[in-house]
Structure 1
């Protein structure tokens, strides 16, 4: 069996190789995978950013509402204590203690509200600024993807087929997590070969294991100064 050089591209979309009068070339398959994965990458990036921001904002708003409710409850309690103090001077010491407690609770609620506000501002500032060294980011136009350095020395090793089955052929796409040092720290099957069977399963597992041996020049910010951690796709064309 002949193993064709693995192909690198950005985070992939699910795709299927359409039947055609002529067998598609590796270049055509690569172009199709790249186009589909770019579309999926853009959608995932938008969705992830929106969901993350909405969750953080909702959490901050809920915490702020709780702090405001606690402060309002403390103010009402203080007003009740003051009214009781005017009606009954005999229990002044106990009432004054309750007032102090209420004031402390109100101060604590205000401090919590201020803390949540500061955390929310910090989150907004971080969201608007660029990523830091080693941050996990989603590939996009503002990120330079990781570049493989040893593609020619990495090939998937497939088990021998049975006498009654054909060798698996097609494109297998593996997602690899490349850290800021260019190391593959995780890999997972993103798109296996069509169909079922031991040979198809073995092809996917072999490609996942092969992807772990890749070494990359890590992804960076556009200026090339900040190295980042990314998930990105590696395509193996089996012929």
Structure 2
């Protein structure tokens, strides 16, 4: 049979065991993907629980995205998913940013709303990162300005815009950095009364901490690479010495 549908009771037990077992995220994600392929549906609550475990996992985000494509999520979970995924919008990984925006856009009923912040960010992220699409990206980024968001009654989403602009600064395309920095600067001037000083600087500081952690990881990786190379060199030397001795 091409269908494998659990009853609600079985599904609840399966989900509970899946989350409690000491399984890697890749095994869990692949299991979920296979079940989705067999038309198994999962609740919005389930995906919320999954992402709470590893909200930056590309595999979990991808599974959630596929599931929400097949079955629309419950709209009353929108705020919870914003809280879960907001930091992903500033991710160094463009796939994480894109998948998170896809998931958040699943909660938006009117996909034709050209002024919606999430949809603007999504369209901006979908644009290829090259000189040909540069102007298009700029147009979408301009819609993240304080004045534009206030005009469209989206002041409650200022923090999401900040996260995304910080994500743009992580992209390896410097022409976008200037406008992103200018927009972030304007948030510190014009939007501070809506965001609040404490929250504004906590978002900035959070990003600095992530950059610091990333640099530390890179440093560790470089050290490990150096040690591995030294080990290989020493191993080769020993092999050469052994070969020379055997020839003698």
Query: If the length of structure 2 is used for normalisation, what is the TM-score?
Result: 0.21
Query: If the length of structure 1 is used for normalisation, what is the TM-score?
Result: 0.21
- Structure number with higher strand proportion: 1
Higher Cα radius of gyration: 1
- Structure number with higher helix proportion: 2
Larger RCO, structure (CA 8 Å, separation 6 or more): 1
